[in-house]
Amino acid sequence: MSLLVVGLSHRSAPVSVLERASLAAETQAKLLQDTLAAEPATEAAVLATCNRIELYADVDKFHAGVAELSTLLAQHSGVGLEELTPYLYVHYEDRAVHHLFSVACGLDSMVVGEGQILGQIKDALARGQELHTAGRLLNDLFQQALRVGKRAHSETGIDRAGQSLVTFGLQQLAAGADPERWAAGKRALVIGAGSMSSLAAATLARTGVADIVVANRTRSRADRLVEILQQGDDTAVRARAVEMSAVGDELTRADIVVSCTGSTGLVLTADALADALGVTLGAAPERPAATVTPAPADVDQHAAWVENGSAVSAAPAGPATALRRVTVPAQSTGPVRLALLDLAMPRDIDGAAHRIDGVRLVDIESLAEASADAPMAADVDQVRTIVSDEVAAFGAAQRAAHVAPTVVALRTMAAGVVAGEIARLDGRLPDLDEKQRAEITQTVRRVVDKLLHAPTVRVKQLASEPGGAGYADALRELFDLDPQTVAAVSRADLNDPNRGRS
């Protein structure tokens, strides 16, 4: 069995495709169940955020796995396979581990170094555990990814290389001004009360806005967020909750709007925004032509495209350069009366809002464009070293774990041989007293243990090295071990209730 990941992200696909391919929670659950029902996969986990959708699986066939996972992503996202395929990337075995560890450290984020991804990885693992689609491999992988991410943030200054998407978005809204001075005294409307909206509200409070209004479809969640904001010791923000039906009225009083809901349709239309500002929606300004620019290359990335259900490897020997189409809408000119930050995927705020005089709109697409030129801190190199070391250690541990059931089965067989010989001895020498019998039994066990010690220790060492998987097969063949016994040991290890807990 081998680890495979098929996915797309802001590095490989335009926001318009990511937006259409976004997966609701119930769709993610169905995707996981269908992946497990597919022949090549025995485990599955999905990592879905505002700028990435990745399906992880333990598969027994690479090409069949790529074809199946790509097809499932297309089916559940609603984007046709032919359209989705050019934007997909594929990572396999150690490359897949390297990719997830890099993601966990924030190296693959839109804003390098942001730490929100750790919570999203934790959620992905919890979902796989709850649905029983994450087995031994994916439990180990995601648990270790969380540890690697935490290590990177605690041992390096990767946090200085970037910031949260919310902070970066506010910087873009401030358009070069100091965000705290820009936000001081302003009134903010936060639409949504999920994790990203909560983070946005807390960031706004720390930045210095005077008032925050929280609107959410479930009023109790908005009330809870307001309660948390008012309990903060480091802010003096005034906060209150409203129903979603009150958003129109609140828009007339807001200076800043941050929206991040799970809605599949627009939450704020251009017409609603124009009405709130008391202006007429103008004609669309002329836009620059769309350009195709290379996304940042990942030296550990290789890609596979699926044609008619068959995986065709592309550029397997070198870094894959994906293309993403970026269209930057022209913003209105003049003083900003309403600053909009849309962190949702699919988008909450109508892109036509840029046509309204006095409105500045920053969304996921413009954030991706702005972050492409963000300076990289020297700490990034240190994090890359950590990732490389951790990938090697994880691979060695997994290969060693692969041979462990065989070693256990060998020792179980040896213990059975000892027990059989002692029983035969009892039949031939029935007059042995208990002390003599115990001494003979202990002696035979010591002999067997000494004979097995060196080969079992050595096979674990050899198996932990690249290409060492064959040593377990050799051990089973040499000692004629029952495959069912080895499989039973593996199943017992997989079903250990304490496994995968931290």
Tell me the catalytic residues: 50
**Does the N-terminal peptide bond of residue 346 adopt cis geometry, omega within 30 degrees of 0?**
yes
Q: How many CB atoms lie within 10 A of CB 502?
A: 9
Dihedral over alpha carbons 249, 250, 255, 257 (to 10 degrees)? -120
Residue carrying the six token digits 């962190």: 343
Residue carrying the six token digits 């060196």: 454
Phi then psi dihedrals of residue 320, to 5 deg: -90, 135
What Cα–Cα distance (Å) separates residue 488 from each residue in 106, 285, 406, 491?
Answer: 39, 68, 10, 5
483 CB-near residues (< 8 Å, 6+ apart) = 476
Residue 290, classified by CB atoms within 10 Å of its CB into exposed (0-12), middle (13-18) or buried (19+), is exposed
Cβ proximity of 428 and 492 under 8 Å: no
Q: Which of 60, 47, 39 is nearest to 6 (CA)?
A: 47
Rg of the Cα atoms in the chain:
28
Give the DSSP H/E element, type plus range, for residue 360.
strand 359-363
3-state helix, strand, coil split of the chain in percent (to 5) is: 55, 15, 30
- Residue 208, classed as helix, strand or coil, is coil
Which of left, alpha, beta for 136 (phi over 0: left; psi -120 to 50: alpha)?
alpha
Rounded to an integer, what distance in angstroms lies between the CA atom of residue 6 and that of residue 303? 9
Q: Which residues pair with 362 in a beta bridge?
A: 341
Rounded to an integer, what distance in angstroms lies between the CA atom of residue 173 and that of residue 263? 23
Cβ proximity of 45 and 133 under 8 Å: yes
**How remote is the C-alpha of 484 from its chain's centroid?**
35
Where would I find the beta strands (DSSP E) of 120-254? 187-191, 211-215, 238-242
Q: What is the DSSP string of 92-140?
A: ETHHHHHHHHHHHTTTTSSSTT-SHHHHHHHHHHHHHHHTT---HHHHH
